[in-house]
């Protein structure tokens, strides 16, 4: 899937609908893009620590262009981190147990209300770690985590039984969470031939973000967080792998 691909216009202009998927008495909300075909497989797309911003919506649109229904759970309940300090505050104050429950509810909603026979999950940064937690605990069929790993108290990655395709940048500087060592530990801990961990040369954390948001440009992001600038080759390679992975694991 190329960054400038424009051969699926019927999907590209679809708009998100805000929904409540946890029941009438719940504040479990999210943003949904319906599949063109009823009953199509669906994908849960999990936010970075910034919240549900335009960046995560772009990632969801990429998945939707492949023909899947997509649901972004709003784990921060409408709040957005406008800088790294606020994003860290939001993530630190999030109840990971509640977030896990809401992701499980999202999977059940897609099966029950959208008729999805298969449900995949993808997430980035904080969402990558939650994707692995969901791979163990939620009713999903496959998982594609990007540059994030959960603590052992939140997830036993050796207990994951579904296919996993994980992605990390070799220059990631978030030690213990998404650096190369964390990726290697994840690879060693997971069991089964259906588990893959890809490491990308020359890129670091958040390498899938095609926008530097909330920074003014990639130079400002690199100065603030030490993340290398955009590498479209790595982005396109990762998306092509995800597309192939979902096509295999989410086919009806």
pLDDT at 227: 96
Per domain, the residue ranges of the chain are 14-249
Helix 96-112 / helix 126-137 crossing angle, nearest 10 deg: 60
Residue 8: per-residue pLDDT: 38
209-212, long-range: CB within 8 Å, 24+ apart, which pairs? 209/55, 209/124, 210/3, 210/58, 210/235, 211/54, 211/55, 211/58
In this predicted structure, what is the pLDDT of residue 93?
95
Average pLDDT for residues 171-183, to the nearest whole number? 98
Q: Is the peptide bond before 214 cis (omega within 30 degrees of 0)?
A: yes
Euclidean distance between CA atoms 11 and 37, whole angstroms: 11
Dihedral over alpha carbons 186, 192, 194, 197 (to 10 degrees): 20
Long-range pairs, 174-181, Cβ under 8 A, ≥24? 174/147, 174/205, 177/129, 177/148, 177/149, 178/125, 178/128, 178/147, 178/148, 178/149, 178/205
Task: Give the mean model confidence (pLDDT) for residues 12-40.
Answer: 86
Opening angle at CA 110, ends 239 and 14, nearest 5: 55
Q: Looking at domain 14-249, which CATH architecture does it have?
A: 3-Layer(aba) Sandwich (3.40)
* The pLDDT of residue 22: 82
133-169 residue pLDDT tens: 999 999 999 999 999 999 999 999 999 999 999 999 9
Separation CA 131–CA 45 (nearest Å): 9
Give the pLDDT score at 5: 42
Task: Check: CB of residue 197 under 8 Å from CB of residue 145.
Answer: no
């Amino acid at each position: 899937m190329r960054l400038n691909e424009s051969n699926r216009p019927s999907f590209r202009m679809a708009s998100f609908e805000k929904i409540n998927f946890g029941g009438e008495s719940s504040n479990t909300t999210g943003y949904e893009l319906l599949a063109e075909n009823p009953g199509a497989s669906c994908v849960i797309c999990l936010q970075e620590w910034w919240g549900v911003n335009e960046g995560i919506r772009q990632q969801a649109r990429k998945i939707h262009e492949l023909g899947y229904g997509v649901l972004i759970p709003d784990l921060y309940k409408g709040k957005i981190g406008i800088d790294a300090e606020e994003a860290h505050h939001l993530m630190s104050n999030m109840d990971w147990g509640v977030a896990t429950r809401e992701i499980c509810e999202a999977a059940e909603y897609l099966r029950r209300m959208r008729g999805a026979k298969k449900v995949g999950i993808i997430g980035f940064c904080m969402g990558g770690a939650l994707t692995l937690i969901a791979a163990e605990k939620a009713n999903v069929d496959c998982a594609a985590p990007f540059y994030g790993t959960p603590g052992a108290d939140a997830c036993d990655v050796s207990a994951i039984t579904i296919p996993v395709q994980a992605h990390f940048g070799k220059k990631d500087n978030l030690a213990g969470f998404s650096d190369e060592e964390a990726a290697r530990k994840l690879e060693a801990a997971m069991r089964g031939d259906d588990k893959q961990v890809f490491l990308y040369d020359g890129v670091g954390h958040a390498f899938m973000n095609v926008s530097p948001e909330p920074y003014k440009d990639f130079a400002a992001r690199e100065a603030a967080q030490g993340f290398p600038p955009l590498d479209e080759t790595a982005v396109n390679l990762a998306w092509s792998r995800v597309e192939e992975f979902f096509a295999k694991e989410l086919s009806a």
